[in-house]
Amino acid sequence: MAIEDIRLITVGSRTVRVATGGAPHSTRTLLVFNGIGASVESLASFMAAFESTRVLTFDVPGVGASPAPRLPYRMREVARLAAGVLDAHGIARADVFGVSWGGAAAQEFAISYGLRCRTLTLAATNAGMVAVPGNVAVLLRLLSPRRYLDPAYLLRVGGKLYGGLLRTERELLRIHGDALRGPSQRGYLYQLLATLGWTSWHRLHRIKAPTLVLMGRDDPIVPPVNGRILAAGLRRATVEMIDCGHLFILTRPREIAQRVERFLADATASEPSTVQRLGHEPGLADPGDLA
């Protein structure tokens, strides 16, 4: 199955919808931060492509079935929430994957919870305010969640928004649209606000985990040069270009999953033979509260 289990859990005072897939009995867990407005269903084909890794993801507040908070939040609170999701599953340390908006959240997690991040994979993302912006017309369309709520609109504009294979593969866009459980207007707005003024650039050097940066060559939203910018600030980064657009984890799920699993295996092989089992850093187990 693509997604083995979807359930609601309590993290602090929040209700969070989480999903697991991939290889459910694996001792290795990949924690995935999804893109803006995208529910866990949008990751089904990607999760199914993992053969030796358990995949864990969740709907951020206001997306899918995770209730929207009363007040806006910042990226550090998304990272704190993710730490609470790991706590709820008894996972002290995970491999971390972030795509697009979720790439910013993944960076924030790796900075704030370094001991809990074994490796980091960043897909189609950037370092925030220092990023090279994408196509202005495309970015203006992203201010609205309409593409998640109106399937006909997604089919009409999706190719221009996402680039790559989706410029011509309308059936993939239809499948993507059918799988989505759209965000609330407030939830989408809060995700936008979470990135306002945010940047990781001056803190990237604090990420000690080996990092794989994957960028689409034809990405109208996040130009591929942003991968080089990220790598310049990271300690241990490898940048690879994918011959597709922004949603290459949708158009090429098996290829990307296999590449990520090779990266995870290489990281395991390069670790010391004896690794102390990590507990929680002081104060990090508390998932906090999103207002």
Q: How far is CA 96 from CA 7, 114, 181, 188, 190, in A?
A: 20, 11, 23, 23, 23
H helical segments located in the chain: 44-48, 75-88, 101-112, 136-141, 146-149, 151-162, 170-179, 185-194, 225-233, 248-251, 253-270
The four Cα atoms 145, 148, 153, 159 give a dihedral, to 10 degrees, of 100
Q: Is 59 helix (H, G, I), strand (E, B) or coil?
A: coil
Residue type at position 130: V
Q: Is 164 helix (H, G, I), strand (E, B) or coil?
A: helix
Question: Residue 211: phi, psi to the nearest 5?
Answer: -130, 135
Task: State how far the Cα of 88 lies from the Cα of 82, in Å rounded to an integer.
Answer: 10
Residue 58: which of 113, 115, 14 has the closest Cα? 14
Q: Is 29 helix (H, G, I), strand (E, B) or coil?
A: strand
Q: Is 58 helix (H, G, I), strand (E, B) or coil?
A: strand
Known active-site residue 13: no
* 190-204 exposure pattern, b = at least 16 Cβ within 10 A, e = fewer: bbbebbeebbbbeeb
Tell the residue number behind the tokens 């940047």, with chain if given. Answer: 199
Name the catalytic one among 42, 45, 66, 100. Answer: 100
What positions carry a catalytic annotation?
A: 100
